[in-house]
Amino acid sequence: SQKIEQNSEALNIQEGKTATLTCNYTNYSPAYLQWYRQDPGRGPVFLLLIRENEKEKRKERLKVTFDTTLKQSLFHITASQPADSATYLCALREGGFKTIFGAGTRLFVKA
């Protein structure tokens, strides 16, 4: 079955720097991959979707890349702010109606 790996260690960066989060997957070739943000005590909120034929997608300070050869997606937040501190989840559709979520990487941005 599909497996998603995200760095379980928290990422600590200084305000203004670029945060880069990694999502690796195995055993499947998803048509698209999604990134969600989750704040403590709240449900995930959709951020970006990137399709297999797209190398890169941008939205304001966010950028996602999708390398189907490496089976990897990178999620970048440029000019990071303390308000960007949250857990970021990677998700892909395994098939049919099932979406597989990674465990998430927690990001801390220090002022």
Partner 1 sequence: NAGVTQTPKFRVLKTGQSMTLLCAQDMNHEYMYWYRQDPGMGLRLIHYSVGEGTTAKGEVPDGYNVSRLKKQNFLLGLESAAPSQTSVYFCASSGQPEETQYFGPGTRLLVL
45 binds partner 1 (CB under 8 A): yes
* Stretch binding partner 1 (CB under 8 A), from 9-17, 44-52, 61-69, 78-86: 44-52
Query: Exactly one of 42, 53, 69, 83 binds partner 1 (CB under 8 A); which one?
Result: 42
Report DSSP state, residue 70: T
**Residue 77 found at the interface with partner 1 (CB under 8 A):** no
Short-list 68, 73, 71, CA closest to 89: 73
Q: Does 10 bind partner 1 (CB under 8 A)?
A: no
Which residues, including other chains, have CB under 8 Å from residue 40's CB and lie 6 or more apart? none
> Applying CB under 8 A, which part among 14-22, 35-43, 57-65, 68-76 lies near partner 1?
35-43
Q: Which stretch binds partner 1 (CB under 8 A): 9-17, 55-63, 68-76, 93-101?
A: 93-101
User: Which residue lies nearer to partner 1 by CB, 60 or 111?
Assistant: 60
Closest CA to 110 of 76, 84, 78: 84
Q: Which of 57, 61, 62, 101 binds partner 1 (CB under 8 A)?
A: 101
Neighbours of 104 (CB within 10 A): 22
Q: How far is CA 73 from the centre of its chain?
A: 7
Structure tokens at 24: 């690796």
